Amino acid sequence: IISIRNPIDKAHSSYFSYKFMNLDKQSFAEKIDLFEKQCDSKEFFIFNFIEDGLFSKHIKRYQKHFPLENIKIIFFEDYIKNTHEHIKSLLNFLELSDDIEFTSKPKNSYRIPRNKIANSLLQNKKFRDISTKLIPTNYRDRMGEKFFVKQSSKPSMLPDERKRLKKIFQSEYEDLKKLLNVDPPWKDFQ
């Protein structure tokens, strides 16, 4: 199962996720510069959000090893618009019963520290490492939501950054259209 998202929006979200968990002070534009250079030089870095948005080469790799009927590709944007329908489609793909009670609560996935103390603790690698080892994930998640982080609106992307990323990902969009024989539902490229 492969979920793909508008690589421009994915890059922006990835930047803030990475920034939340690390002490990196580089701006989004500076990260675009850095990651574009890494891609051009064929360097691989796990947190390179430009590389992460180059879906077609990864999909082609899967297609070499798995028959097409064993690969399910969904667009994140379509999933968000009709989650229930896509969950049923995924269950059918997995040959599982789609007779489910489904309730979902809309959730803003962008979070910020609740206060300065929470910010200090969350940026403390030793604190994060110890809590990861000692506290089970489900308790850590609940504690984090209650005491350390709060939902917030994600800062908007600057028009120049969006334009630049569109230029970077334009050929990827065209490759995906050909590979999947469908137009990805990404307004930036239509």
Domain boundaries, the chain: 2-107+156-189, 111-152
* Residues 6+ away with beta carbon under 8 Å from 62: 2, 71
- Provide the phi-psi class of 96: left if phi over 0, else alpha when psi is between -120 and 50, else beta: beta
Of residues 99 and 112, more confidently modeled: 99
What are 20-58's pLDDT values in tens digits?
766 667 888 888 887 777 777 666 666 778 888 889 989
Q: What is the pLDDT of residue 141?
A: 82
Angstrom distance (rounded) from CA 135 to CA 128: 10
Whole-number Cα distances in Å, 93 to 78, 144, 169: 17, 34, 29
Please calculate the CA angle 22-28-34 and round it to the nearest 5 degrees: 85
Of residues 109 and 140, more confidently modeled: 140
Given pLDDT bands bounded at 50, 70 and 90, which one contains residue 79? very high
Q: Provide the whole-model pTM.
A: 0.78
Q: How high is the mean pLDDT of the chain?
A: 86
Q: What is the pLDDT of residue 104?
A: 66
- Provide the phi-psi class of 17: left if phi over 0, else alpha when psi is between -120 and 50, else beta: alpha
Tell me 153's DSSP state. P
Q: What is the CATH number of domain 2-107+156-189?
A: 3.40.50.300
- How many other C-beta atoms can be found within 10 angstroms of the C-beta atom of residue 29? 12
